[in-house]
Structure formats: C-alpha cells, structure tokens
Structure 1
C-alpha cells in the first residue's frame, strides 16, 4: 500500500467526498473504492440480531457515543464503539454469549484491533477511554486524523498500558505494578478498579502522590470514580490515566 493510499484511508467520509469533487482519473477511482470500503464497515454485523441492531441505533444517539463521533468522525471503529458500549451494559453471562457469537466476524472484518474494542467493552473500560480521547483531543487540539492514530495506537498497546486491579490485591502489589510502568517510562497508561478493589487502588495512588513519585518522574494523572451496572448489580468503578510529560509525552503515540 502506498503512502498516498494510506493517507486517503485515514480521511473521514466528509473529507473524502470533498476531495472526490476535485479529483479525476485513477485518484478519483481510488477515492470511490475507499468510500465504498468505509460505508461497508458501517453496516451492522451479520451475527447481530434485529433487536440488538435496534439497541445499537439507540446507543448511537447517546451523549457518550456522540463524544467519540465528534473525536473520530467516520473512523473505522465507530460501528464497533456502539458494540463495545452495548457489551458494557450486559451481565457476565450475556457478555460471554455475545463475545462467542461475534468474535470471529469481528476478527475477520476488523482484525485484532476490532477484538480489542470488544474486550474493552466487556471490561467496562470503554466509557473511560472515550472520555480520555475526548479530553486529549481538546487539550492538544488534535485533528480527526491525529486522534484516530492515537486511538489506533491505544488499541494496539492496550495490554501493555493497562492495569486491572483484582479485589484480592494489596496496596504493595498495586504499587509494584505502577512503579514497573513508571520505570519503563510508559508515555501513557491506565488503571482500572471495580467494587472491592477500588479502596486499595485509591490508597496506593494517594500514597505515591504524597511521596511525590508521579511528579518527580514526570507524570501527571487524572482520576474518575463512578457507578456502573443496573440497580441490582451496581458497583463502584475507579479509573485513572497517567501521561508522562518529561520527554515521553503523548506525542510519541502519534
């Protein structure tokens, strides 16, 4: 694939349509092909039922989906963002059933990064990632293309930049994991904790912050606490993301 074709694929539909108006010959044919590919990716998955498709449509009208759409435009992942948000609403058994049903199709159509969105949805972390993407786009004034590349990179590096704290982990265990990421000078990493794992996670981060560990190593962090799930299964969810601003900033991802 040429660099020109790669650049075209990174454009959103509105940008491609505008470019199409002023193009001719082989370039025009290439733009038509890419537009068709993007439109095809926006179709619902074959393995999704009509009822689930209606739920997806409702999700695309929510504020959190609109936030991501405002960031990514017609990025290849938008159809899967709705899927990820849908998975996040399900209970454990429902998540397992849906993932078994759609994983193969998602992998065939979107590759490993598509499966990663499904995984992020199943952990409940997808809303936090959307809010991070929205926040960093405003702070850094990133374009659609830049924020799309950043999101792709987060998906690629997901397993290497996340800590999901287990309920049985001690403050010492959590601290070791965080310090490992800091020693590796990760430009960006996330911590997630749910239910009984929240208190030890907050205590660990507070301890390291009071010890000046983050600032002295060039990190800033942002934390958020919320409740997820329905009234019966509601649980506390804590998320925190860290950016290294001492020579290992977020621009390394782009």
Structure 2
C-alpha cells in the first residue's frame, strides 16, 4: 500500500532546468514543498533573489541558482560534468527547459530549427547522459523530461518544436530501457495547453485561443501548478515501478 511517506522527498537534491518561470518554476516549488533541495538552472536566472529562490526558501529547503544557456553545447557539457561530479549527488533531474519558434514549415529557417533542437532535445540528452551515468553507478535516481502534446501530434507552424518533443518521448523510452534495471526511473510529463510565456501568442489569438479552450474537456487552459502533482509523483518512491512513461497532464485533450 502506498502511504504519504512514499511521496516524501526530504533529503533529496533536485535539479530543475528552466526553473526561472512558468512550468519549471512550478515544478521547483512543488519539489521543494515535498522536501527536496533545489538547484535551479536557467539562462537568465538571477544569482540571488529570484522569485523561484524565494518560493523554495519559504518551504525551508535550500536553493542554488546556476546560470547556463542550454543553446550553447559547451556550456551544457560543463553543466553536466559539474552536476555529475558533485559531492552531494543529484537524486532528481527535471529536464524542463525549452524554447519555441513559430513559422510555417516552408519559412522555418535552419537557424531556428537548429536552436530549437539544441535546447529542446540535444541539451536534454547531454544532461541526462551525464547525470544519468552517475545515477546508474549509484543504483538510484529519477529523471523527468517535459514532453508535450506535440510528442503525439503535429501542431501548426512549429516543425522544429514538434520534432524535438517527439524525440523527447522516444528518448524517455530509450533511456528507461537501459537504466530501469539499475534503479533509475526515466519518465516524462506531457503538459497540455498551459498558460505560460511560450503560449502567449496562442492565447492572444482571437481565433485559435477559443478553439483550443472549446476542445479541452476541462474547459480551461492549464496553469503551471497543474503540473505539481505529477512532478512530485514521478520523483517519488510512489513511482518506483514506473519506467518509460509519458504522462499527459492536459485537461483531457488527448482523450477528446
């Protein structure tokens, strides 16, 4: 029987990329509330005094800010080496950071494609490879990717983002196949339409925004905090026999 203690993350160290705002900030806040200390990673994260730091500290947990641009492969490689080599091991890696570029496929330039694939897929693999290897050596760990509804669907005018998020779904399963037997759980969360900066253009569109809302059985756009429960669950002992799963948190969108 699963007890509340199975969801307790006290004493664990969690790394959350893209922690400065939106979904990543909500994930960091939720993990801290469950007992985890947090390392927040973002390209523009303030060294001290950020909103996410204040929220984590308010739970009684510790917070360290790491400013890293995931669009720079050398910086990602250095971050992976740093995290994997720390005296206090990383127990939970939340690979959440992402970017999006919107343009019709025929006008979607190489630079936009490469940037989106680097941040949303290649950097995710590089960090998972480094931190995951250390987890495998210890025989325990949790890796959570942020996938998307576009891990299942094609979307409109976001070919690079869609390709990357399909890749995240496949990578989740590939890593789980290798690492599950070593005590490392690799899973992903697929947020639905969540009200964040990345979806501002859609929410401001007078045609698409109501069309999206009308298709969501829950009848509303999601909020970043709607991802909190799934994040804590997949990071916890309650999910010890869950491997290679992409968990939709979408207000019922995929069931429509």
TM-score normalized by structure 1? 0.27
Greater relative contact order (Cα < 8 A, sep 6+) = 2
TM-score normalized by structure 2? 0.27
